[in-house]
Structure 1
Amino acid sequence: MNGKPAVFLDRDGVINEDRGYVHRWEDFSFLPGAIDALRQLQQKGYLLVVITNQSAVARGLCTEADVLALHERMCAFLRERGIELAGIYHCPHHPQGSVSDYAIACACRKPEPGMILRAAQAHGIDLSRSLLVGDKISDLEAGRAAGIPSLYLVVPPGQDEDLSSLPGVQRVSGLSEVVERMFGSQAMPSS
């Protein structure tokens, strides 16, 4: 495919603090360095695509409209800072959910690659030139299943994660470290 490269990003734990089922703007807090890292990745020519499991919908903790409203606020906040997300794809499903319409096994819930494949088709993305940044093994499994060669796992300092089932995955402390590893001294200073 002669498409554009993209960075596929999990949301909670990669872009924002994972406080458990974040679905309101007042509970949303960007992780340190995330905004500058997104800007730098965009300036280097990568499309920015968020892929996020949002089982809070299936669990009855919020509505899909709540998730969409949060994503609209996040996009507007980033746009004001010169960052344009190519898309946000969310999966509201969970097989053991309590809301029957969403209590299903689907092809979009990570580790399935459905959200990635849908985004790649919609935006003309070359998956072989793309990368994925997640904070769970299921994120990486989705990326690998979609054919993304560069996979990064965000592991907070002091935590450990067994990556023996996913050789080649790079462990990082956050998005800033991804940018540093990719571009080294070419990384642009934050503004």
Structure 2
Amino acid sequence: MKEGTKRLYLESPYKVEFKAQVVEKVIWEQKPALILDQTCFYPKSGGQPCDKGTINEVEVLKVLEDEARIIHLLAEDISSDKVTGKIEWQTRFDHMQQHSGQHILSQSFHELLGAETLSFHLGEAISSVEMDLRKISEEEVENVERRANEIVFQDREIKCYFIPEEKIESVPLRRPPKKKGLIRVVEVSDFDFSACGGTHVRR
């Protein structure tokens, strides 16, 4: 298996600039692309879109996962083997807020209606969360919205940490993790515990 890219955003989602070494240059989807030893760029994964930004001032068109590696598709080729990446903060922070909000909303549905989240999608104009509900009343929607807003306005801390797979049963996860090995948990303090690899706000 090829060596993976170190994902700096897992530990430091507020970090917007980084330096890296080019591991490999490839053509991906007919575009020049880089595989770096480390990156702050979040790749498109699950329902969260990829980050925007630049590498050595060249626009990053798309960021994708290829097993453990992260592929950065570029607007033009870069000759240097040492690069500086910059994340477009406005887009990153929007995704962080939306993703944390989705966790709170999903747990509110689970707590009040016993509903599971089937999928979610974060968009620039419209975001969606698919729940396993055949029907829902207007009153139930209002109750879920009220509960989610309560948690938001309580300004609860949101923590991200890693738990070994053999100890994950000690964490009250909302749903079982899809991955094996070291599991990343996103906790909305005393409210929601989810296995998640996305970027989130601190509160």
TM-score, length of structure 1 as denominator length? 0.26
Tell me which of the two structures has the higher relative contact order, counting C-alpha pairs closer than 8 angstroms and 6 or more residues apart: 1
Larger-gyration structure (1/2): 2
